[in-house]
Amino acid sequence: MIWYPYEQMKTMKAPYKIIDAEGVWLKTEDKAMIDSVSSWWSVIHGYKHPALNEAIKSQVDRFAHVMLGGLTHEPVQKLSAKLREFLPGDLDYCFFSDSGSVAVEVALKMALQYYVNRGELARTKVLSLTHAYHGDTFKTMEVGDDEDYHFILEAYGEKKDVIHIPTQIPALEEAFERYHKELNCFIVEPLLQGAGGMRMYDVAFLKRARELCDTYGVLLIFDEVATGFGRTGNRFVADLVLPDILVLGKALTGGYIGHAVTVANHKVYDGFYADDPNKALMHGPTFMGNALACSVALASVEVFEQEDYMSRIRRIEAITRREMEGFADPRIKEVRIMGGCVCVEVHDADTLKGYQQFAYERGVFSRPFLKYLYAMVPYIISEEELVKVLGTMKEWFRVNPA
Ligand SMILES: Cc1ncc(COP(=O)(O)O)c(C=O)c1O
């Protein structure tokens, strides 16, 4: 039996069984549908991309995997060299892992140990955002503030080592003023908070955060697992404001294989670089730097660059703005658009009940959650396909009068 994610198994409806996938299309036995969520925001090149398929096929004939403990190989070397050139500033040191959650854990562990290595033992707290989502492992749940994880609070009563603030500059300044001696890091999903409700905020907040982190010697972590590789309309938000640690996942491999990376700048790396073995980073997921994952990730970054994906994303945003212009309904609280993300927030979650099946019947796969109906399409989508995704969202409100 399969235990499915985020589901009450007793009441869940049967999932759609996919038998093939190509471009933006998912195919079931009797239906083709556009994947409007890019398989949890990862499949940016669509399915069965020739260059990505080829990268995996040629690597698998050499070897699929060897561990990085005491061994290394060309795909991981080439990928880390490519990321060094592709990422902004001095984000040069790549620590690979097998999922976004683990990569965030690594970032949080790096930040804590960075200060322990310096003998600053009071810096045990993490500053984080309200509505944050950073993954499903224990520390990431603690740092997160996702509505679906409130059982943690029910069980433990409080989160001791995490302070949550809204994305407002006065709250940020106040938190730094009050807690700066105890903070090791400030972690954010920059500009776009995904699973917490596709919430968008201004870059001015991040610029001020950078200043305060510099003033008080606190590390700034950008969790760009969801926002990285163009989703916000920037290659990385790190191109606008430079963090000390950057976390990438999801689209890193074009959605082909679970893999992620925690990228540290020189300052953080130097904090571990010593003769003392106790100052080393003691972490090592079995599948870190997996050769198939690194090969496909390298191909993914190359396609992203060579095919000018940033202009594709600008086009997706322009079409989305045009199509959603003037779209309103009393049940809708707000329509938000940023880069390759559009979100229709409704007042009452019941408004979206039945939408998934409605969309399926019209050839669109969608997965609304809570009060959020959203699309994060693969970047290779055609105008016609994108108009169909957005048209299906609008049609739902038209054919189901309030
Ligand atoms: C911002 C952010 N961080 C971390 C994660 C966790 O990534 P994974 O599901 O690969 O563990 C996610 C997943 O949605 C995410 O959106």
Tokens 């069984």 belong to residue: 17
Domain coordinates in residue numbering, the chain? 20-48+308-399, 50-306
| Tokens (6 digits) for 236 | 């990385």
Tokens 């299906």 belong to residue: 392
d(CA 121, CA 271): 14
CATH code of 20-48+308-399, in short, is: 3.90.1150.10
Strand partners, 240: none
- pLDDT at residue 138, as a whole number: 92
Closest CA to 390 of 349, 337, 312: 337
DSSP notation for 254-286? TTSS--EEEEEEHHHHHTT-SS-GGGS-----T
Closest CA to 389 of 343, 333, 339, 330: 343
4 catalytic, yes or no? no
Closest CA to 305 of 378, 358, 229: 229
Cβ atoms 344, 393 nearer than 8 A: yes
If you measure from the C-alpha of residue 262 to the centroid of ligand 1, how many angstroms do you get, rounded to a whole number? 13
CA-to-CA dists, residue 244 to 125, 226, 264, 293, angstroms = 17, 18, 6, 25
Instruction: Tell me how crowded residue 163 is: count the other CB atoms within 10 A of its CB.
Output: 15
DSSP notation for 126-145? EEEETT----SSHHHHHH--
Cβ atoms 40, 100 nearer than 8 A: no
Would you say the pTM of this structure is higher than 0.85?
yes
Q: Which of 104, 141, 187 best tests ligand 1's pocket when mutated (most atoms within 8 Å of CB)?
A: 104
- Topology of domain 50-306 in CATH is Aspartate Aminotransferase; domain 2 (3.40.640)
| Tokens (6 digits) for 307 | 């095919």
d(CA 382, CA 401): 30
Q: What is the DSSP letter of 99?
A: S
Please state whether 226 falls in left (phi above 0), alpha (psi between -120 and 50) or beta.
alpha
Give per-10-residue mean pLDDT for the chain (402 aa).
Answer: 96 97 98 98 98 98 98 98 98 98 98 98 98 95 83 79 97 98 98 97 98 98 98 98 99 98 98 98 98 98 98 98 97 98 98 98 97 98 98 96 80
If you measure from the C-alpha of residue 45 to the centroid of ligand 1, how many angstroms do you get, rounded to a whole number? 19
Name the residue at shortest CA distance from atom 7 of ligand 1.
Answer: 100
User: Which amino acid does the sequence have at 55?
Assistant: A
223 catalytic, yes or no? yes
d(CA 395, CA 176): 46
Q: Which of 102, 221, 250, 259 best tests ligand 1's pocket when mutated (most atoms within 8 Å of CB)?
A: 250
Q: Does this chain's domain 20-48+308-399 share its CATH topology with 50-306?
A: no
